Chain A
Amino acid sequence: MALAEADAVARPIRRPEELAEVDALVIPGGESTTMSKLALLFGLMEPLRARVADGMPVYGSCAGMIMLADKILEGRDDQETVGGIDMVVRRNAFGRQNESFEQAIDVRGLDGGPVHGVFIRAPWVESVGEGVEVLAALDGDRIVAVRQGSLLATSFHPELTGDHRIHRFFVDMVRARPR
């Protein structure tokens, strides 16, 4: 729905042939261990990596951020990610559900004031490589939004707020991409 508000057509992707038909991808929140398992089981992991390597724009929020990380901490031993962003992400870094929270955050490059971040058993970015732009951080060092090339990731869930600026930002990234 957030994507529709940002003037894009959204469809669910569960199979490799569905992936082949889209210009860009949003990996939403959810349980990253389940996502990783199902992506491997249904042969989606390698095609995803190939599309990312090929420059397909991807936005990952929460579990989606974990899926875009080159390296994760506190994951399951057998948990694989798609990767693509040179960063280390700590899973469930903000704690369990009782510690889940919402808070205003400034996101670099976004007009119109802070966004309202909803963090649910959320990860944070522990460290980033040179090519990664940090877009938002809490308390200075807890990185919660990053961009590397055509890949965008946030720890929080903009789709739960009715503020579609992050999705619009991503759709603009997709449209600005040279083909």
Chain B
Amino acid sequence: MSTNTPAPTDQPSVGTARVKRGMAEQLKGGVIMDVVNAEQAKIAEDAGAVAVMALERVPADIRKDGGVARMSDPNMIEEIIGAVSIPVMAKSRIGHFVEAQVLQALGVDYIDESEVLTPADEVNHSDKFAFTTPFVCGATNLGEALRRIAEGAAMIRSKGEAGTGNVVEAVRHLRQIKNEIARLRGYDNNELYAAAKELRAPYELVKEVAELGKLPVVLFSAGGVATPADAALMRQLGAEGVFVGSGIFKSGDPAKRAAAIVKATTFFDDPKIIADASRNLGEAMVGINCDTLPETERYANRGW
């Protein structure tokens, strides 16, 4: 984000890049949890979540049920908004800008244009500058992250492989993004043009990342976090916070596991606290091995 302060005006302005990206700054260091009803939202809030993601089915159930996954019922989203005082996010399908318009009209605090739902457009993502509500988008590599930011995303998360309870893809994507940023840091100005072409991302953004040594927006991790140690791993690898989807409410004792993941995310560099948080959590979600997952069932391949 630009650090230059614009000429002050007397009129309040809403939906600016600074207000959108600044919202994600407030979530840093925290855990955002998938919830499917008001009761789960309260459990998440009680456990210390910094926000909840309202959706009809957690990714593990979307995988099991199959069919087309869409935006959630507005009634359900409103119930969740009414039940908690922390920020509420909700998912739209990739390229389904009308679902996004509906979510904005409902007053959600952040829209996740998510590969977990069935894409509505196989060429275009939504124009996120057209909204007051900020967007978070998934990415598997730096080029993808920068294309989303170029479309107006105010926060990025690794895609991982949602609903598997397997952290391997989240690790792959986060490492990929961090490695590509580190590589850019070593380039001189002559090389950045070709780098932009290779990354299929706007030159200005590529240059900004090369200078900052990080994305210009907050970077979280998502897709497969199931244990306190998983969350701490993503933090140690450089994620500024974590999304936890199926991992909490598909486990034996959701309230306890949720609180434990919050602790481990805050004290991600303190193995003693992570050890204590990991004790007696009951059954973790069963999980799926990603290498046995057919290409067509990999959500990370959705979006481009």
Residues of A in contact with B (beta carbons under 8 Å apart): 14, 29-31, 33-34, 37-38, 41, 62-63, 74-76, 91-92, 96-104, 113-116, 118-121, 157, 160-163
Contact = CB atoms under 8 A, between A and B. Distances in A.
A98 B104 contact: yes
Nearest to B109: A97
Contacts of B108: 97
Main secondary structure of the interface of B (DSSP, over half): loop
Nearest to B50: A31
Contacts of B16: 102
Contacts of A119: 19
A103 B13 contact: yes
25 contacts: A29-B25, A29-B26, A30-B30, A30-B50, A33-B85, A34-B262, A38-B262, A38-B263, A96-B87, A97-B109, A97-B134, A98-B14, A98-B109, A98-B132, A100-B23, A102-B16, A103-B8, A103-B9, A103-B10, A103-B13, A118-B22, A120-B19, A120-B23, A160-B18, A163-B5
B103 to A, nearest CB: 10
Contacts of A97: 23, 87, 108-110, 133-134
Contact of A102 (B2, B19, B85): B19
Contacts of A101: 12-14, 19
B26 A30 contact: yes
Given A33-B48, A96-B87, A101-B13, 4 more contacts: A100-B19, A116-B8, A118-B22, A157-B25
Interface of B: 1-6, 8-16, 18-19, 22-23, 25-30, 45, 48-51, 85-87, 104, 107-110, 132-134, 262-263, 266-267
B196 to A, nearest CB: 26
B8 A104 contact: yes
A118 B48 contact: no
Nearest to A104: B8
Contact of B30 (A34, A157, A163): A34
Contacts of B109: 96-98, 121
B30 A102 contact: no
A153 B286 CA distance: 47
A76 B104 CA distance: 25
B19 to A, nearest CB: 5
Given A33-B45, A120-B22, A104 B50 contact: no
A-B pairs, top 6 by smallest CB distance, nearest first, are: A104-B8, A162-B3, A97-B109, A101-B12, A103-B12, A31-B50
Contacts of A76: 45, 85
A101 B19 CA distance: 6
B7 to A, nearest CB: 9
A120 B22 CA distance: 7
A114 B11 CA distance: 13
A74 B12 CA distance: 24
Nearest to B14: A101
A100 B133 CA distance: 10
A100 B14 contact: yes
B47 to A, nearest CB: 8
